[in-house]
A and B are shown apart, each in its own frame.
Chain A
Amino acid sequence: MKKKNYFVSFLIGITNVLIGSGGGIIAVGMLKNEGLSQKEAQSTAIACMLPLTLASVFLYLKNRAVDFSSILPYLPFGIIGAVCGAKTLKKISPKILSLLFSAFLIYSSIRLFFK
């Protein structure tokens, strides 16, 4: 792995704890930088984030920052969504979706910042 990406991996850990998300996106960018294709990078990133997220959850639980029950209603829909998403990933390139999503992120960031 390129030297700078060792540091990026370290940052992924920090980000995952600090903002409870985002590690995956950084991971995808880093893996593509390492030469993986878009789809390989996206899939590998998920594999990277799973153990790291488990560790982060452990941390949050230990600090009592969250409890399990609050997320339960969302889970069945999330799993269905994940199955659909994983199958779609193999078939289509998410470019338009990505653009819409970016617009949504920018809108949300402004609302969140000034909340």
Chain B
Amino acid sequence: MNFIQIAAAGFLSGFLGAMGLGGGSVLIIFLVLFLNTPQIQAQGMNLIFFIPCALTALIIHSKNKLIKWKYVLITDALGIMGIITASLFLNKIDSEYIRKIFAVFIFVIGFKEIIKTIKEYRKKQK
């Protein structure tokens, strides 16, 4: 694990995350594929990593008045319920299985984005 790898992975994750582009996936992918970090640990690291990056991005975004706080409240209220529910079975699922779930998830995201971009491109052509 060398300095450049850490710097690049860290920077890209923060950058993409602050753009709302799912930067979280970058860090987990890097950790699991290149450093052979166990999936759950990589996920935990990613969650911790997100916090200072998000705080930084938020301070800048709230200056730009882009945040609609009403939605934050509602989403978080329901989201916390989801977290509590997930906590009940987090321990019971195998790490390998979670990695596959993660893989499917990012595949779907990537695929959807490409379709969306193609659609937008076609619209522009007309």
Contacts and interface: CB of A to CB of B under 8 A. Distances in A.
Interface of A: 1, 6-7, 9-25, 27-28, 30-31, 34, 36, 39-57, 59-61, 63, 65-66, 68, 70-71, 73-90, 94-95, 97-99, 101-106, 108-113, 115
Given A12-B75, A18-B98, A97 B10 contact: no
Interface of B: 6-25, 27-29, 32-33, 40-58, 60-62, 64, 66-69, 71-72, 74-87, 90-91, 93, 98-107, 109-111, 113-114, 117, 120
B44 A20 contact: yes
The 3 A-B residue pairs with the shortest CB-CB distance, nearest first, are A13-B82, A20-B43, A66-B44
B105 A19 contact: yes
B104 A44 contact: no
Contacts of B106: 22, 105-106, 108-109, 112
A34 B71 contact: yes
A53 B17 CA distance: 13
12 contacts: A16-B86, A24-B24, A25-B20, A31-B71, A43-B58, A48-B72, A66-B44, A78-B52, A81-B15, A86-B19, A105-B109, A105-B113
Interface of B is mostly: helix
Contacts of B109: 22, 25, 102, 105
A85 B19 contact: yes
B103 A109 contact: yes
B71 to A, nearest CB: 6
Given A41-B20, A74-B45, A106-B107, 14 more contacts: A7-B78, A15-B82, A17-B87, A18-B86, A20-B42, A21-B47, A21-B102, A46-B20, A53-B47, A86-B60, A89-B61, A101-B16, A113-B99, A113-B100
